[in-house]
């Protein structure tokens, strides 16, 4: 069975600080996909990134970066120089490969960036 754990329920940082959101996953498959989504106060989830199990390269997109480590089953998300607009709930998710597969979401981390 697949499982996603986001141990940090809520995080508060002061604007311009860096912050890392942790995500630990469990799966028995060798082929799987990891995702991050952002849910701002408006409620609509926004897709941020997908990473497949064969690609351990870290990715950077502007102030966002993702660190994928299969050895520790982690897919952590770092926001550099945080801004108030980054305040949201962030969800990590996992889908096992092959045909239709249910996506398992973590419970989310609420990030509050204080001006």
Partner 1 sequence: SQTIHQWPATLVQPVGSPLSLECTVEGTSNPNLYWYRQAAGRGLQLLFYSVGIGQISSEVPQNLSASRPQDRQFILSSKKLLLSDSGFYLCAWSVQGPYEQYFGPGTRLTVT
- Which residue in 11, 13, 24, 45 binds partner 1 (CB under 8 A)? 45
Cβ 44 to partner 1 shortest distance, Å: 5
Q: Is 47 in the site for partner 1 (CB under 8 A)?
A: yes
Cβ 33 to partner 1 shortest distance, Å: 5
Distance separating alpha carbons of residues 94 and 35, to the nearest angstrom? 6
Q: How far is CA 42 from the centre of its chain?
A: 19
Cβ-based neighbours of 42, under 8 Å, separated by 6 or more: none
Residue closer to partner 1 (CB basis): 24 or 45? 45
Dihedral sign, Cα of residue 15, residue 81, residue 49, residue 9: negative
Question: Which residues of this chain interact with partner 1, rule CB under 8 A?
Answer: 32-33, 35, 37, 42-47, 50, 91, 95-103, 105-108
């Amino acid at each position: 069975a697949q499982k996603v754990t986001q141990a940090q329920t809520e995080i508060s940082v002061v604007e311009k600080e860096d912050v890392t959101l942790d995500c630990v996953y469990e799966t028995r498959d060798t082929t799987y996909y990891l995702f991050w989504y952002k849910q701002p106060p408006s409620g609509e989830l926004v897709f941020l990134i997908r990473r497949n199990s064969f690609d351990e390269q870290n990715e950077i997109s502007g102030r966002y970066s993702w660190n994928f480590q299969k050895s520790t089953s982690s897919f952590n998300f770092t926001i550099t120089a945080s801004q108030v607009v980054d305040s949201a709930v962030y969800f990590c998710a996992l889908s096992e490969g092959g045909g239709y597969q249910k996506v398992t979401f973590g419970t989310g981390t609420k990030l509050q960036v204080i001006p």
